[in-house]
Amino acid sequence: MTVAQLTLPTAQVSYDAPIEAELERLVELFALQPTLAAAYPLRWLAVQIFEGDEGLLAEVTAAGGPSLSAEITASMQRLQARYGEDLDITLVDQRYRFVHALAGKVLTRPGSVHDLTMSDRVDKVLTNRFLGVPFFFAMMWLVFKLTTDVAGPFVDWVDGVINGPISNWVIGLLGVLGLAGTWVESLLVGAVLAGVGGVLVFVPVLFALYFALAVLEDSGYMARAAFVMDRFMHRLGLHGKSFLPMIVGFGCTVPAIYATRTLDSPRDRLLTGLLVPFMSCSARLPVYVLVATIFFPAQAGLVIFGLYLTGVVMAIVIGMLLQKTLFRNQPPSPFVLELPPYRIPAWRTVWVQMWSRTASFVQKAWTIIFATSIVIWLLLAIPVRGAGQFAQAEMDQSAFALLARGVSPIFAPLGFGNWQSSGALTTGFVAKEVVVTTMLQTYHLDGGEAEGAVPTTFIEDVTGIFTSFGTAVVDALKVIPQMVGLNLGAAEDEEEFVPEGLATAIQANFAASSGGHAGLAALAFLVFVLLYTPCMVATAAARHEFGPRWIWVSIVGQFGVAWLAALIVFQGGRLLGLG
């Protein structure tokens, strides 16, 4: 049994006699300075000074004046004469000797330290020079499937519950209060519930993503991914470590920008931070899903995957350009990364990470999304032309339509110069997840959504919530065998969750704004959504990390890149006679 006491450890690293002598000398001198003696363990302080800690050296010099400074310099010079310039490496070396001797005393191993461990054998396969990259892409594909197909049924469930039973209850309650059909109902259902739904719909996607990231990290694979991708990242002027923020960027640009903090040099952090937004964040996914299922129902999955790939390719191109221009003369910092042994993830850790990261996103996002929903609702409710009353305005006569129409000529050459699209893109600067919300809101009225087909009772609603959750679980489970290539025949035909009226309205609108090339315009719209300026929160994060100057490069630069890319897709496609 260990005997525990709140006393200091008895052991101390002992260095070579000449170093110990100089340490002792400095400790005596430091002890004469009350400010130092009160604030620091003095031997530790002396060691830090020998290791070249400039901050502490400045503090000591400030406390002890030039005479102490001279003494320190003299000590250092005596040691450097003996051990060479790299005194800090000598100290590391001697500390390791102490540790080596200690480990030799307390640890016995059956074989040699050079024996291959289980983890090394796994690495022979997973990081193999031929298999490593394909395996990495297979893992990324799995993560991608997890965040789309497995999370999908739950997204639909959340959506269904909010637009079905909960909306009904709110409407019913307002009926009782005599507010049915008033602007209050419109505000609560059209803005408040839509806003809440906009955030909650994200939760299953983020949960799945953070689950995947936590498993990859905790199992040790994430570091292998960095190793395998290092050569590739080198071409972007970065190294394998930058891959981590990039992967996080598929979830959310905000934590990805903060994740650049783990990189070693300011140059790597900035360059990675500029490329991260090209990794399509999960908030853009609902837009892809909505538009792709409307315009390319048969190839929706392929289109979406293609978009993700396009983002990566753009990052490569931009990375190479930046390296040859703004970052000329700045080589990447050296790549050194520990590969921890593979292990089964600790499920509790995975769970805590999933939970806390998702919660922190929701906390950050909900105010913004909520506020935007209400602002958009207000703009939609205010009639600027015609004879509509407040909250009764015809959609295309609202203040929102007026504003969006002002912006829409910018998008005319791209084929989606209709006010609904430009309106949705504008609100998308606030948060990408409101692009879909705005589209739904703007199309809502023309969509002529059928009133709840059959009136339901409260009990039916409640049981419906649970049974539909059960269905979602079953659907999600059915997807899992498919991810590894098994097809159990079920979950085959994608459930059409886009309301009929909405699909035709959007199609008609894109056809009109593109002169009949609705498909191309939709593709250009998707590419634009993929590449354009990240959301306000991400921009704020980037400003915090890299300073205001780089933000403009990012905002204006990305808008330009997106505009050009969408132009190429739309006009190029037309020239080639596609769509």
Q: Tokens for 472?
A: 């979602």
Build a one-symbol-per-residue string for 190-229: x at contacts with another protein by CB under 8 A, - elsewhere: ------------------------------x--x--xxx-
φ, ψ at 466 (rounded to 5°): -75, -45
In the complex with another protein, which residue's Cβ is closer, 71 or 88? Answer: 88
Binder of another protein out of 5, 67, 325, 389 (CB under 8 A): 5
Q: Which is nearer to another protein, 12 or 389 (CB)?
A: 12
Smallest separation (angstroms) from another protein to the CB of 270: 14
CB of 417 to another protein, least distance (A): 40
Residue 339: Cβ-neighbour burial (10 angstroms; 0-12, 13-18, 19+): middle
Residues 156-185 that bind another protein (CB under 8 A): none
**With the C-alpha atoms ordered 349, 352, 355, 360, is the resulting torsion angle positive or negative?**
negative
Nearest approach in angstroms of CB 549 to another protein is 19
CA atoms within 13 A on the CB side of 407: 15
Our finding on whether 454 is near another protein (CB under 8 A) is no
Rounded least distance, CB 492 to another protein, Å: 39
According to DSSP, residue 453 is labeled S
Within residues 102-121, the interface with another protein by CB under 8 A covers 102-103, 105-111, 113-114, 117-120
By beta-carbon proximity to another protein, the closer residue of 227 and 370 is: 227
Measure the CA dihedral 302/306/309/315, to 10°.
-160
SS3 383: strand
Residue 387 interacts with another protein (CB under 8 A): yes or no: no
Q: Which is nearer to another protein, 3 or 453 (CB)?
A: 3
Cβ nearer to another protein, comparing 13 with 166: 13
> Please, which residue, 29 or 57, has the CB nearer to another protein?
57
Q: Which of 453, 481, 494 is nearest to 156 (CA)?
A: 494
Hey, is 32 helix, strand or coil?
A: coil
Mark the segment that binds another protein (CB under 8 A) among 11-19, 145-153, 410-418, 528-536: 11-19
Size of the site for another protein (CB under 8 A): 88
Least Å from the CB of residue 540 to another protein: 12
Q: Spell 448-460 as b/e; 16+ CB within 10 A means b.
A: eeeeeeeeeeeee
Residue 246 burial (CB < 10 Å; 0-12/13-18/19+)?
Answer: buried
Residue 72's nearest CA partner among 50, 41, 56 is 50
Question: What residues have CB less than 8 Å from 475, skipping those under 6 apart?
Answer: 152, 153, 491
Return the residues of window 12-31 that contact another protein according to CB under 8 A: 12-13
Whether 520 and 529 have beta carbons less than 8 Å apart is answered as no
Token code pair at residue 508:
């008609």
Which amino acid is present at 154? F
Phi, psi (deg, nearest 5) at residue 119: -60, -40
8 binds another protein (CB under 8 A): yes
Tokens of 307: 């978009």
Residues 124-143 that bind another protein (CB under 8 A): 124, 127-129, 132
Residues within window 514-543 making contact with another protein, judged by CB under 8 A: none
Nearer to another protein, 357 or 432 (CB): 357
> Which run of H or E residues covers position 166?
none
Kindly state the tokens that stand for 171.
Answer: 């409407």
Q: Decide whether 40 or 296 has the Cβ nearer to another protein.
A: 40
- Contact positions with another protein (CB under 8 A) in 304-343: 331-341, 343
Work out how close the CB of 230 gets to another protein at its nearest, in angstroms, rounded to a whole number.
Answer: 4
* Near another protein in 73-102, by CB under 8 A: 86, 88-89, 92-93, 95-96, 98-100, 102
CA atoms in the 13 A half-sphere facing the CB of 102: 10
CB of 498 to another protein, least distance (A): 37
Least distance (Å) from another protein to the CB of residue 169? Answer: 31
Assigned token pair, 245: 């923020």
Q: Which is nearer to another protein, 324 or 343 (CB)?
A: 343
Query: Are the C-beta atoms of residues 530 and 306 closer than 8 Å to each other?
Result: no
Q: If binding is defined by CB under 8 A, does position 261 make contact with another protein?
A: yes
Q: Which is nearer to another protein, 10 or 457 (CB)?
A: 10
- Give the C-alpha separation, 204 to 211, whole Å: 10
* One of 17, 34, 38, 389 touching another protein (CB under 8 A): 38
Cβ atoms < 10 Å from Cβ of 135: 18
**Which residues, numbered 238-257, are part of the site for another protein (CB under 8 A)?**
239-240
492 binds another protein (CB under 8 A): no
Q: Which is nearer to another protein, 223 or 503 (CB)?
A: 223
Window 263 to 282, contacts with another protein (CB under 8 A): 264
Using CB under 8 A, pick the residue from 47, 425, 435, 537 that binds another protein.
47
Q: Does 489 bind another protein (CB under 8 A)?
A: no
CB neighbours of 547 closer than 8 A, spacing ≥ 6? none
Residue 193 vs 259, nearer CB to another protein:
259
Q: Could you tell me the smallest distance in angstroms from the CB atom of residue 242 to another protein? A: 11
Tokens of 371: 């506020």
Pair of tokens at residue 362:
């929701």
Burial of 394 by CB count in 10 Å (0-12 exposed, 13-18 middle, 19+ buried)? Answer: middle
> CB 217 → another protein: shortest distance, Å?
9
Beta carbon nearer to another protein, 159 or 230? 230
| Binder among 16, 25, 27, 51 for another protein (CB under 8 A) | 51
Paired tokens of 375: 């602002």
Q: Residue 123, interface with another protein (CB under 8 A)?
A: yes
Among 41, 470, 515, 516, which residue interacts with another protein (rule: CB under 8 A)?
A: 41
Choice between 126 and 205, CB closer to another protein = 126
Question: What Rg do the C-alpha atoms of the chain give, in angstroms?
Answer: 30
Among 326, 346, 474, 556, binds another protein (CB under 8 A): 346
> In 6-66, at which residue ranges do the beta strands (DSSP E only) sit?
none
Q: Looking at beta carbons only, is 131 or 378 nearer to another protein?
A: 131
